[in-house]
């Protein structure tokens, strides 16, 4: 990991030292949909002292070790990235969303009388699932097959949708909506801190929601800031060659 400079972009920061993602999330610094921003600008938007934040991030990076934490996805080809996203992030969501739906029902039944905000947590989680499921389906059945064809093509493939930028822009819009819903969940759960009278299921739910947020943030970062730019570069190269 190179010395962390306040002018470094958040997406590069996460690619070079993914162990910083948890700290960035705790600070409310959006490295997925807002990954193109500089650290200094993101801190200013949050009212944070960039000097203190930079010092804290440097300390974490030093603890991890120089060069020991580079993200594997930062070196992957488009084909490898698509396979990685499906096998890692998609598989996680297909398994976890139904489990979370059952778990939040259990916690609501036991604690909603004392903690009515749980009803909003359940509703927001349901809305998030309704956004994610068709998004995953669209990627797996439509967009990712297009990316695989593009990545292995010798000339620009003919597509009914035209440029791959169209489908990718739809996914980007989906990511924005998902990010807003995750922010709502974090606020409703007091940053995933269960109340003192919460049972084991309550704690399990909040831990699972924190993990869900972390995985989706990394998922979106990998697509927005690594996969999509790589695909756009391939498309430009093939268009120029044609």
Q: List the pLDDT tens digit at each of the 242 positions of the chain.
A: 457 889 999 998 888 888 888 889 888 888 988 889 999 999 999 999 999 999 999 888 877 654 556 688 888 999 999 999 999 999 999 999 999 999 999 999 999 999 999 999 999 999 999 999 999 999 999 999 999 999 998 887 766 566 788 889 999 999 999 999 999 999 999 999 999 888 888 999 999 999 999 999 999 999 999 999 999 999 888 888 86
Q: Is the dihedral of CA 94, 31, 238, 152 positive or negative?
A: negative
> What separation in angstroms does the CA of 171 have from each of 102, 144, 207?
27, 11, 27
The string over 201-224, giving b where at least 16 C-beta atoms fall within 10 Å of a residue's C-beta and e elsewhere, is bbeebbebbbebbeebbbbbbbbb
Same-domain check for residues 220 and 124 = yes
139 within some domain: yes
Same-domain check for residues 102 and 212 = yes
Same-domain check for residues 117 and 230 = yes
Same-domain check for residues 50 and 135 = no
Count of domains for the chain: 2
232 within some domain: yes
176 within some domain: yes
Same-domain check for residues 40 and 77 = no
Q: Are 2 and 16 in contact (CB under 8 A)?
A: yes
31 within some domain: yes
Sorted by sequence, the CB contacts under 8 Å of residue 113 that are 6+ apart come out as none
What domain range includes position 34?
10-64
1 within some domain: no
User: Any idea what the Cα angle at residue 30 is, between residues 28 and 31, rounded to 5°?
Assistant: 135
Same-domain check for residues 180 and 93 = yes
Same-domain check for residues 124 and 207 = yes
CA atoms within 13 A on the CB side of 67: 0
Cα distance between residue 182 and residue 188, in whole Å: 10
Cα distance between residue 154 and residue 242, in whole Å: 9
123 within some domain: yes
117 within some domain: yes
């Amino acid at each position: 990991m190179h010395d962390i400079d306040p002018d470094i972009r958040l997406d590069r920061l996460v690619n070079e030292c993914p162990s910083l993602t948890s700290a960035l999330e705790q600070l409310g610094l959006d490295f997925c949909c807002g990954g193109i921003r500089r650290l200094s600008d993101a801190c200013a938007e949050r009212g944070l002292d960039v000097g203190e934040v930079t010092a804290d991030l440097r300390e974490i990076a030093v603890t991890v070790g120089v060069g020991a934490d580079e993200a594997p996805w930062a070196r992957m080809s488009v084909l490898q990235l698509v396979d990685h996203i499906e096998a890692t992030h998609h598989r996680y969501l297909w398994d976890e969303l139904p489990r979370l739906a059952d778990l939040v029902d259990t916690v609501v039944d036991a604690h909603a009388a004392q903690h009515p905000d749980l009803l909003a947590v359940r509703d927001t989680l349901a809305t998030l699932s309704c956004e994610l499921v068709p998004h995953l389906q669209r990627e797996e059945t439509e967009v990712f097959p297009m990316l695989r064809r593009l990545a292995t093509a010798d000339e620009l493939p003919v597509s009914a949708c035209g440029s791959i930028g169209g489908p990718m822009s739809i996914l980007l819009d989906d990511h924005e909506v998902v990010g807003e819903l995750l922010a709502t969940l974090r606020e409703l759960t007091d940053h995933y801190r269960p109340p003192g009278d919460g049972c084991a299921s309550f704690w399990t739910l909040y831990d699972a929601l924190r993990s869900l947020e972390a995985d989706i943030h990394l998922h979106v970062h990998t697509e927005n800031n690594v996969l999509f730019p790589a695909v756009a570069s391939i498309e430009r190269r093939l268009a120029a060659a044609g």
